[in-house]
């Protein structure tokens, strides 16, 4: 059996502690797609994912995927829970005109999963959500809710009792 350049076989020599696994030099002919801006990155206190679907096993595996992706990116997961399922039943008559006692019942179950991530930057949230949404399986829907943190306005920072014009008039 011969090895070609695309084969993943390696020689059986022991690896030294100073061995580098990936060392590559890249020369880009076009400019980088990364842009640096002066404006600060937005901070999110919470990002909530509500995932719903009809197949429970698909939701279980997707929940595992989403939590593993968050752990790989270093995102803190504050809550993961199963919400109660919704059951919707339809009753239809088998016959078109008569025989009311011959019926068929159909049932649709919608299962829910809730994942809450806390203390994210805007760029991390964007990368994570894009990755998770691209790998969303068929028959599964996802709702994303973001709660952003904002700077406290300047007029609220100073206590009211320090700048009260009524007290200054009374003391004079």
CB 57 within 8 A of CB 138: no
- For 32, residues 6+ apart whose C-beta sits below 8 A from its C-beta are none
Q: Can you give the pTM of this predicted structure?
A: 0.64
Tens digit of each residue's pLDDT (9 = 90 or more) over 141-159? 999 999 998 887 777 777 6
Q: How far apart, in whole angstroms, are the C-alpha atoms of residue 113 and residue 152?
A: 34
Q: What is the pLDDT of residue 19?
A: 40
- Residue 53 dihedral angles phi and psi, to the nearest 5°: -165, 175
Residue among 64, 70, 76, 55 nearest 119 (CA): 76
Query: Which tops the pLDDT comparison, 139 or 100?
Result: 139
The tokens describing 166, both together, are: 């009524």
CB atoms within 10 A of CB 19: 9
User: In this predicted model, what pLDDT tens digit does every residue of 35-49 receive, in sequence order?
Assistant: 666 677 888 999 999
Q: Are the C-beta atoms of residues 46 and 144 closer than 8 Å to each other?
A: no
pLDDT at 2: 45
pLDDT digit string (tens) for 62-72? 999 999 999 99
Spatial separation of the C-alpha atoms in residues 96 and 102, rounded to whole Å: 11
Longest dimension (CA), the chain: 101
Res 8: pLDDT: 41
């Amino acid at each position: 059996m011969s090895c070609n350049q695309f084969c993943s076989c390696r020689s059986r020599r022991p690896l030294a502690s100073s061995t580098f696994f990936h060392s590559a030099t890249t020369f880009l002919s076009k400019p980088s797609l990364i842009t640096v801006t002066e404006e600060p990155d937005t901070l999110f206190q919470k990002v909530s994912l509500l995932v719903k679907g009809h197949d429970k096993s698909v939701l279980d595996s997707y929940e595992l995927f989403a939590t593993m992706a968050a752990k790989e990116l270093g995102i803190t997961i504050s809550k993961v829970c199963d919400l109660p399922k919704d059951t919707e039943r339809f009753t239809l008559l088998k016959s078109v005109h008569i025989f009311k006692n011959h019926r068929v019942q159909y049932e649709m179950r919608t299962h829910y999963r809730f994942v809450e991530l806390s203390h994210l930057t805007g760029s991390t949230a964007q990368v994570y959500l894009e990755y998770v949404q691209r790998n969303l399986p068929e028959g599964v829907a996802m709702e994303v809710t973001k709660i952003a943190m904002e700077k406290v306005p300047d007029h609220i920072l100073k206590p009211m009792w320090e700048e009260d014009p009524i007290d200054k008039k009374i003391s004079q």
